[in-house]
């Protein structure tokens, strides 16, 4: 190589590096701007359509004092002995969760409330960690305070459920967490490492840190072959739970195969809650 060609090749190499660097920065910028679209997948419904679909599923509207529908309810057939608040995952809407709510109801004795997130179903607003946690607090405040309250979460709903466990630790008598995670930035980093979400993710749910404050009974249910939230993230959350706890890993199950359990399974959960809720410190 002649001496005269070396500067040209060096400049070309620097130019290529600069182009790649600019492209990567553009990729990061797009990831930052679109991150909530990559995280939340809401189904929107008008009120009339939602009420018609709710009736088919056996739900009735759950309004707040202002008359806004904040979720959907299935009332106990017998005199209620408590309430279950269901905090669903990041796709669809609350009305899609009959596969969780109906078996809980059929197991007997509990009113089931499925809260809705801002930007989902009939609710106005946009999904974010702030809006979800505010919605969870508002929903919790509307539950009957004179009977036991239980919380059930699905997938990313663990973020809001664990928040409630920290802020209302003495008021929650038991929990079930389906396919949860310990720390959303860590999970996101494992899925999209080039976008560096560990450093740049805006909605930094950290259920493991929140669950350390809760001493009530918790059942964590994972799918052995979950590719969306691999079991190791749920196991880390389970390790952080400070009270009585049970871990169930369903063989061969994927992410969407875990939360649909029969009434008999829920009766065993009720028994676990009842037996262990009296052991709080």
Domain boundaries of the chain, sorted by first residue: 1-39, 41-279
Parallel, antiparallel, or unpaired: how do β-strands 60-63 and 69-74 relate? antiparallel
The whole-number pLDDT of residue 244 equals 97
115 CB-side CA count, 13 A: 31
Average pLDDT of the chain to the nearest whole number: 90
- For the cut 70, the answer to whether the pLDDT of residue 24 exceeds it is no
Q: Among positive and negative, which fits the CA dihedral 207, 130, 254, 50?
A: positive
> Tokens at residue 208, please?
């493991």
In this prediction, residue 70 has a pLDDT band, given cuts at 50, 70 and 90, of very high
Is this model's pTM higher than 0.75 or not?
yes
- For the cut 90, the answer to whether the pLDDT of residue 276 exceeds it is no
- For the cut 70, the answer to whether the pLDDT of residue 120 exceeds it is yes
Domain 41-279 classification at class level: alpha beta
CA distance 11 to 21: 15
**Which residues touch 103 (CB under 8 Å, ≥6 apart)?**
260, 261, 262, 263, 265, 266
In this prediction, residue 280 has a pLDDT band, given cuts at 50, 70 and 90, of very low
Parallel, antiparallel, or unpaired: how do β-strands 60-63 and 149-154 relate? unpaired
The whole-number pLDDT of residue 191 equals 87
> Tokens at residue 67, please?
């008359």
User: Alpha helix (H) ranges present in the chain?
Assistant: 5-39, 47-57, 98-107, 129-141, 158-167, 184-191, 197-200, 207-211, 231-240, 263-276
Other C-beta atoms closer than 10 Å to the C-beta of 109 total: 15
């Amino acid at each position: 190589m002649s001496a005269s060609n070396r500067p040209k090749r060096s400049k070309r190499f620097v130019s290529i590096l600069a182009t790649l660097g600019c492209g990567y920065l553009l990729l990061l910028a797009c990831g930052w701007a679109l991150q909530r679209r990559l995280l939340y997948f809401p189904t929107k419904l008008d009120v009339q359509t939602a009420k018609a679909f709710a009736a088919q599923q056996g739900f009735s509207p759950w309004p707040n004092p202002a008359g806004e529908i904040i979720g959907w309810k299935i009332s106990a057939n017998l005199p209620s002995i408590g309430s279950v608040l269901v905090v669903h995952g990041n796709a669809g809407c609350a009305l899609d969760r009959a596969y969780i709510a109906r078996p809980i109801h059929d197991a007997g004795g509990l009113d089931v409330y499925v809260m809705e997130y801002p930007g989902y179903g009939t609710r106005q607003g946009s999904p974010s960690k702030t809006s979800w946690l505010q919605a969870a607090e508002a929903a919790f405040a509307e539950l009957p305070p004179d009977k036991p309250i239980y919380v059930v979460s699905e997938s990313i709903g663990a973020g809001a459920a664990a928040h409630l466990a920290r802020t209302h630790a003495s008021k929650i008598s038991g929990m079930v967490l389906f396919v949860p995670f310990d720390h959303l930035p860590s999970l996101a980093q494992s899925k999209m490492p080039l976008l560096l979400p560990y450093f740049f993710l805006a909605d930094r749910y950290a259920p493991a840190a929140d669950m350390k404050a809760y001493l009530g009974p918790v059942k964590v249910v994972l799918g052995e072959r979950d590719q969306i939230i691999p079991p190791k993230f749920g196991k880390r959350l389970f390790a952080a739970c400070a009270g009585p706890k049970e871990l169930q890993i369903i063989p061969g199950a994927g992410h969407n195969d875990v939360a649909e359990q029969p009434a008999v399974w829920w009766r065993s959960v009720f028994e676990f809650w009842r037996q262990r809720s009296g052991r709080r410190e």
